[in-house]
Amino acid sequence: MTDKNSFDAEIGIIGYGPTGVSAANFLGAAGISTLAIERDKDIYSRARAITVNDWTMRIYQSVGLDDALKQGMDVTHSLRWIDYHGNELARLGFPPSDMGHARAYSIYQPEMEKTLRAGAERFSDHVKVRFGAEVTNVDQDAEGVTLEITDCNTGATETKRVRYVLACDGGSSATRDNLGIRLLGDTLKTRWIVIDARVKRWWPNRHVLTFWSDKERPVVDVALSMGNHRWEMPLGPEDKDSDFQTHDQIWNLLGTMGVTHEHVELHQHAFYNHHIRHAERWREGRVFLLGDAGHLMPPWAGAGMQSGVRDAQNLSWKLAGVLKGTLPESILDTYEVERAPDVERFTQIAVQLGRIIKQELTEEELAAMQPPPDAEPELPPLLQPPVIAAGWVSPGNAQAVGQFLPQPRAASSTGELGLLDHFLGDGFTILGADCDPSEAMTAEEKQGWEALGAQFLALRSADQHSQSDTDVIDIDGTLIAWLKAHGADVIALRPDRFIAAASGNLAVPA
């Protein structure tokens, strides 16, 4: 019998794909004991995700993995839409990002997961991984969760006791089914084929992420990193998976885009359907659904895997605070409140991009997408920064609250240069623009943030003397200008770099 008053780990992670292994890194860095259970020891060989952006890379920067990950990534050059007559319909370049990283990177998912697993191994004192096993039952009570774990080779079972569970076991999540949580939405009927290849010889504009726009055969044509390439295209109404089992049959598809044996060596292919689905709720007691276990979207925005990574970061710092006794358990209720709108935003962007690629938009819809001639240039929705409209943020009308803080170059008072987050640490930070933020707060506000272990830092202009050893220098002046444009001299930053409170109401969120 398992003693319900003792625990084998604080957190149990079911599934060790990109979402699960990311959570292991975040929890390990926070010193939280974690047990991950994964059926397959080998990393899945097929590259499913194709991209990460500046927000995701900044998340990995928080656990010191950004440089290692970039070794297996390429900066994405641009996007274009073309037709089969060679006409370029539209092109989208990537302007410089204000988050400290390139706007977008192409990846090779197996290599990325390899780096993430190596990252989690840094925290082996806290993070344990059980390969070759699966969770076959989840039984929770008021104090914790008992996991029944079955060895995939022997069938032997054992139980482990944890306080909370992160279900990262994918779109067909057995945990979600075990909890009786329904998956709402639709699975589209059209069958798609994914073709992966290794590049042998360059062809024109191979580095540009290309969408072949066509009503019958739209194609995603994308350069993955490390010399890999990917095509995704729909099968016709009369086509079957069995019609495309041999390389000869697949070459017929690639030939329509001018790709031959001279250009690539075929590696593997697979078939799938697009999903627009989400779980009816993302939490059941002490069990949380993350990534594909909680939501599935079409691939057009490249945000499926990344949404799981963002889920993991959002929930991990909150769980760490709850387990350490600095944050109330009620903060866990803000997980879905904060993440669901962002997932829905990217889902709708993906749906709309899919309609463009498949030439489904009417002339009126296309016209509505064009900005007025005298309008200020604006980032397209795909590139706009995230924002939190509701959740763990202080109420009020401050424009800065809920915004994602830019990350420019900065310096320490001793002249060390780096990206801003390097000087902010990994907890809560109260930041003042050309002022000591502690002097701008009431005693109650200051005490509230001190109880969370927050540090108080002054952001100084580069043309001023620093006044304290803890001052941070705004090298280019862009961050002080950003704060003033958002009506804030002082902000309270969460560990994930969203602004929780700002001038006018600097109280710790309830």
CB 166 within 8 A of CB 13: yes
CB 84 within 8 A of CB 212: yes
Is the pLDDT confidence value at 374 over 80? no
Digit-coded pLDDT (tens) for 451-475 = 999 999 999 999 999 999 999 999 9
Is the pLDDT confidence value at 345 over 90? yes
CA nearest 93: which of 382, 365, 353, 407? 382
CA distance 140 to 439: 46
Is the pLDDT confidence value at 36 over 90? yes
Amino acid (1-letter code) at residue 395 = P
CA distance 233 to 269: 11
Digit-coded pLDDT (tens) for 326-339 = 999 999 999 999 99
User: Mean pLDDT for the chain?
Assistant: 93
Q: Is the dihedral of CA 51, 290, 136, 117 positive or negative?
A: positive
pLDDT of residue 370: 59
For residue 54, what is the enclosing H or E element?
helix 54-61
CA distance 218 to 252: 15
pTM: 0.94
pLDDT of residue 92: 85
Show the domains of the chain with their CATH numbers: 9-72+108-183+277-354 (3.50.50.60), 185-276 (3.30.9.10), 387-502 (3.40.30)
Per-residue pLDDT band for 379 (boundaries 50, 70, 90) equals confident
Is the pLDDT confidence value at 219 over 90? yes
Burial of 171 by CB count in 10 Å (0-12 exposed, 13-18 middle, 19+ buried)?
Answer: middle
Digit-coded pLDDT (tens) for 224-237 = 999 999 999 999 88
Digit-coded pLDDT (tens) for 471-483 = 999 999 999 999 9
Query: Where does 371-474 show beta strands of DSSP type E?
Result: 409-412, 417-419, 429-433, 455-461, 472-474
At 39, is the secondary structure helix, strand, or coil? coil
CA nearest 461: which of 404, 396, 410? 410
CA distance 175 to 398: 40
pLDDT of residue 216: 87
CA distance 434 to 480: 8
CA distance 227 to 198: 6
pLDDT of residue 1: 43
pLDDT of residue 357: 82
pLDDT (mean) for 136-145: 97
Per-residue pLDDT band for 353 (boundaries 50, 70, 90) equals confident
Per-residue pLDDT band for 340 (boundaries 50, 70, 90) equals very high
Digit-coded pLDDT (tens) for 251-287 = 999 999 999 999 999 999 999 999 999 999 999 999 9
Query: Where does 17-68 show beta strands of DSSP type E?
Result: 34-38, 51-53
